[in-house]
Amino acid sequence: MAKQPKPQLGHRRVTKLDPQNIQHGHTGAPAPSASVVQDRDTALSMIDLLESLADEIDSTLALSTPNPYLAMAAHLVRCHLEGKIVTPSSLVAASGVPYATAMRKLSDMIDAGMIEQRPRTRSGKTVSLHASTQLLTNWGQLSDRVARLARKHLADSDGGERDYYFGGTYLAGHSIAPPSVLPEPITVPGGLRVLVHGDPTFMVMENLKRQFEHIVGTSISQRAFSIDRLHEETLRNATRKTSHYDIIAVDLPWIGEFAKKGLLMPLDEVMDISRLDPSDFHTAGWRGAHWEGRPYGVPSQTTPELLFYRKDLFAEAGLKPPSTTDLVLKAARHFHDPTHGRYGIAWNAARGTALGHTFIMAMADFGQPVVNLDPIAGGFDADHLDRDDFVAQFDTPATEAAAEYLLQLMSVSPPDILSMSWYERVRPYAAGKVAMAYGYTLLAPYFELDANSPAHDTTGYLPHPTGLAAKPVAPVGGYVLAIPANLPEERRAAAAEALIAFTSPAAQKLYVLNGSRTVPRYSVGADPQVQHLSPIFEAVDAMSWRDELQFWPRPPLPNICELIEICGQEIHDMLRGVTTPREALGKVQIRADRVLRTGSS
């Protein structure tokens, strides 16, 4: 077969990047062409039109072959407009052709100056791919020409335009269809067995069990545990000769531990990863599912921890939404009125895992990771953690500032704050007893679905306010669905098919329509029906575009659970007044050093 000619889109452009600019998110590249970014909705709808037209041609004409250049160019421009990171693997997946062919076409596009490569780490070993200025310019010209041709050839006789998918009309009406049954039903003895966390989103999945049994063609049994018991059960399951579960839910920080111990199966061994449409997942959630570049799970929930605040109360008080930790304290002091049963703020302060998570995320609010991660654009590198040279970072000025912040929060919190954990912190907020609360988006149904809650339709959503001039961050939490490594080989294909079905855009939308407030996919967050249900989806999407969704605050270090538990114990003693911040942090540092060095606290 003759080699397809390279697209002639101009000379290769190489942009020299200053490391300081990379670190602070600046590329030094010329501004993109106005023709492609001037009207974002029109540009995106034109991409949808061209992709749909290509699909129709490929499916209608038996001898037609995919055009990988067009597919990859469209993917690059779409991700440029939506603020998503493109990796070589995601671009290859978008090409629609076999891997080897896609890699050759990718090389052609780089040589033709269509793609710029930018380092994502200080070493430069990993890169992100970006549409070059030349590609953006040519794509804008193509979009303009296609729109003119459509108007010319599809106009009514009276000069009016037909209602075709361009000019923004497509996006306004685009909605993800309900999930359909699998072409081939899953057949495994005893049906599918799933281990999950007992949170609102997974409970929605349980309520939809019969519908999903119809979709996948087999029975589904689901067991749900609390976060600590889920971790224990996963470790226990790994000691069995064969797994009791086909699919297990894994908290994002556990990926490193479970992957390194060989508890999870690399997904690229049991499925074609492109079937998951990786570029549709929120970048932080998808990256967090990887260990050393290989995916070990599929995001089922991407639920950042945010600051919930009562917009009505802030408006009445003439206060702006807090953007710094100092402003959080100022607002909390204003609303704190214990004699009338109202308090400033609620948060996770229960001893152990709950407070441990709070503290390491508070450290992130002051720009401090738990270990010496390499700084990169947007935060810190949590993608390359299979090293033995990490040093704990609990004795820094930023860490002490985080500890002092939690101490000050104590004075404006409910009296039972030291026993508050995951759900207890949001319940007083939903009841109108506190003006603000730190909480994961998965907790929003407690007030968004309760018309009697004072917080219903009056809640605003913010990334974590910061201190010491740190960048705003929304620490990403949530779960991925994974396949246990000790699952018998004859059940693996069925587990992979179920994994794809449970995490598809159609399934994720169904969860939202039935009460979930976690959306791991861009397409679901942009769905008109979904956006109509809650402002939380648009807020999270905006944070993702601003690169505020980050998983480095809870990095998937193999020993992260031990570090979290240490923080949860020593910081609890500090909040009780048993130790001072310096004493508590000194103990955390010593114990954390021991864990990182020996694996034992």
pLDDT of 281 > 50? The answer is yes
Question: Of 88-92, 160-164, 539-543, where does mean pLDDT reach its minimum?
Answer: 160-164
Question: Of 16-25, 74-83, 371-380, 416-425, where does mean pLDDT reach its minimum?
Answer: 16-25
Give residue 170's pLDDT band: very low, low, confident or very high (50, 70, 90): very low
Alpha helices in 112-208 (DSSP H): 133-153, 169-173, 200-207
Return d(Cα 575, Cα 580) in angstroms, integer.
9
- pLDDT score recorded for residue 174: 62
In contact, 365 and 548? CB cutoff 8 Å = no
Spelled out in words, what is the top-level CATH class assigned to the domain 192-302+478-525?
A: alpha beta
- pLDDT score recorded for residue 470: 95
Transcribe 28-96 into DSSP letters: -PPPPPHHHHSSHHHHHHHHHHHHHHHHHHHHH-TT----HHHHHHHHHHHHHHHT--B-HHHHHHHT-
CATH 1.10.10.10 positions along the chain are: 19-146
Tokens 């908290």, residue located = 251
Give residue 28's pLDDT band: very low, low, confident or very high (50, 70, 90): very low
- pLDDT score recorded for residue 41: 65
pLDDT of 466 > 90? The answer is yes
- pLDDT score recorded for residue 19: 27
DSSP letter assigned to residue 194: E
In contact, 481 and 298? CB cutoff 8 Å = yes
pLDDT tens-digit map of 369-406: 999 999 998 899 999 999 889 999 999 999 999 999 99
In contact, 482 and 301? CB cutoff 8 Å = no
DSSP letter assigned to residue 253: G
- pLDDT score recorded for residue 140: 79
pLDDT of 137 > 90? The answer is no
pLDDT of 158 > 50? The answer is no
Give the pLDDT mean for 137-163.
67
Strand partners, 304: 476
Average pLDDT, the chain: 87
Higher pLDDT, 338 or 57: 338
Return d(Cα 583, Cα 568) in angstroms, integer.
15
Question: Of 76-80, 162-166, 463-467, where does mean pLDDT reach its minimum?
Answer: 162-166
DSSP letter assigned to residue 399: H
Q: Which of 34-38, 517-521, 578-582 has the highest mean pLDDT?
A: 578-582
pLDDT of 343 > 80? The answer is yes
CATH 3.40.190.10 positions along the chain are: 192-302+478-525, 303-470+559-598
- pLDDT score recorded for residue 31: 34
3-state secondary structure of 346: strand
Question: Of 10-24, 281-295, 364-378, where does mean pLDDT reach its minimum?
Answer: 10-24
3-state secondary structure of 161: strand
- pLDDT score recorded for residue 433: 97
Residue 307 phi/psi, 5° resolution? -100, 115
pLDDT of 165 > 70? The answer is no
Return d(Cα 474, Cα 282) in angstroms, integer.
13
In contact, 244 and 221? CB cutoff 8 Å = no
Give residue 601's pLDDT band: very low, low, confident or very high (50, 70, 90): low
pLDDT of 171 > 60? The answer is no
pLDDT of 182 > 90? The answer is no
In contact, 403 and 573? CB cutoff 8 Å = no
Q: Which amino acid is located at 555 in the chain? A: P
Alpha helices in 263-374 (DSSP H): 283-288, 311-317, 325-335, 353-365
3-state secondary structure of 440: strand
pLDDT of 24 > 80? The answer is no
Q: What is the CATH topology of the domain spanning 303-470+559-598?
A: D-Maltodextrin-Binding Protein; domain 2 (3.40.190)
3-state secondary structure of 12: coil
Structure tokens at 88: 């070589």
Give the pLDDT mean for 443-469.
96
Q: How much is the pTM?
A: 0.71
Handedness of CA 271, 272, 275, 276 (dihedral sign): positive
Return d(Cα 121, Cα 124) in angstroms, integer.
5
Give residue 40's pLDDT band: very low, low, confident or very high (50, 70, 90): low
484 closest CA partner among 194, 278, 217: 194
pLDDT tens-digit map of 45-69: 888 888 888 877 777 776 667 889 9
Extended strands (E) in 398-458: 434-440
Q: What share of the chain is helix, strand, coil (3-state, %, to 5)?
A: 45, 15, 40
- pLDDT score recorded for residue 45: 80
Judge: domain 19-146, CATH 3.10.180.10. no
pLDDT of 90 > 80? The answer is yes
- pLDDT score recorded for residue 365: 98
Which contacts qualify for 269-277: CB closer than 8 Å, 24 or more apart? Answer: 270/483, 270/492, 270/493, 270/495, 270/496, 271/496, 271/499, 271/500, 273/89, 273/93, 274/92, 274/93, 274/94, 275/500, 276/500, 276/503, 277/93, 277/505
First-to-last C-alpha distance (Å) of the chain: 62
Question: Of 36-40, 309-313, 347-351, 404-408, where does mean pLDDT reach its minimum?
Answer: 36-40
Question: Of 121-135, 157-171, 324-338, where does mean pLDDT reach its minimum?
Answer: 157-171
Return d(Cα 598, Cα 568) in angstroms, integer.
20
Give the per-residue SS3 of 209-244: HHHHHHHHCCCEEEEEECHHHHHHHHHHHHCCCCCC
3-state secondary structure of 377: coil
- pLDDT score recorded for residue 241: 96
- pLDDT score recorded for residue 30: 33
Displacement of CA 408 from its chain's centroid (Å):
30
Longest dimension (CA), the chain: 83
Higher pLDDT, 230 or 37: 230
pLDDT of 592 > 70? The answer is yes
Give the pLDDT mean for 103-130.
83
- pLDDT score recorded for residue 85: 78
Give the pLDDT mean for 173-181.
77
Extended strands (E) in 411-548: 434-440, 459-462, 474-477, 479-482
Q: Which amino acid is located at 286 in the chain? A: W
Residue 334, judged by CB atoms within 10 A of its CB (0-12, 13-18, 19+), counts as middle
pLDDT of 246 > 80? The answer is yes
- pLDDT score recorded for residue 443: 94
pLDDT of 458 > 70? The answer is yes
Give the pLDDT mean for 473-500.
96
